[in-house]
C-alpha cells in the first residue's frame, strides 16, 4: 500500500499512526487531511502527540510531506477530531482526503 493509501485508511477510520520522517526517530500522530500544497507537494496535516520533534512543544499540529514519510503503521488506537481542526481551511482547496 502507498503512503497515501495508508493515510486515507487512517483518516477514514480515525486511527493514530506511527511513522518516521526525514530519517528522524519515530513519531505518533492523528492524521486529519491530505492535500496538494501551493508548491504542488502532497502534504499531511496531523496532530502529533509523541515522538521526535525538532521544535518540541508536543502535542501540536504539524505538516508533513508524504514523500518524506516512511514506515507508516496504523495503530489500533483511535483518535477524536481535534477541536481546532478547520475542515474548510483554504489550504484544503486541493484536498485528496480529509475528515
Q: Could you read off the pLDDT of 61-86 as tens digits, one per residue? A: 999 999 999 999 999 999 999 999 99
pLDDT greater than 90 at residue 41: yes
Please tell me the pTM assigned to this model. Answer: 0.95
pLDDT greater than 90 at residue 21: yes
**Does the domain formed by 3-80+91-98 have CATH 2.30.30?**
yes
Average pLDDT for 14-29: 97
Q: What would the grid cell of residue 58 be?
A: 508536543
pLDDT greater than 90 at residue 90: yes
> Would you kindly state where each structural domain of the chain is located, as residue ranges?
3-80+91-98
In this structure, the chain runs to a length of 99
87, burial (CB in 10 Å: exposed 0-12, middle 13-18, buried 19+):
exposed
pLDDT above 70: percentage of residues in the chain: 100
pLDDT of residue 1: 85
Amino acid at each position: 500500500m502507498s503512503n497515501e493509501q495508508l493515510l486515507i485508511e487512517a483518516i477514514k477510520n480515525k486511527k493514530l499512526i506511527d511513522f518516521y520522517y526525514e530519517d528522524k526517530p519515530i513519531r505518533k500522530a492523528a492524521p486529519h487531511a491530505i492535500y496538494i500544497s501551493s508548491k504542488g507537494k502532497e502534504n499531511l496535516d496531523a496532530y502529533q502527540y509523541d515522538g521526535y520533534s525538532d521544535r518540541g512543544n508536543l502535542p501540536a499540529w504539524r505538516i508533513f510531506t508524504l514523500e518524506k514519510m516512511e514506515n507508516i503503521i496504523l495503530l489500533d488506537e483511535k483518535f477524536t477530531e481535534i477541536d481546532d481542526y478547520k475542515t474548510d481551511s483554504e489550504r484544503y482547496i486541493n484536498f485528496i482526503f480529509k475528515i
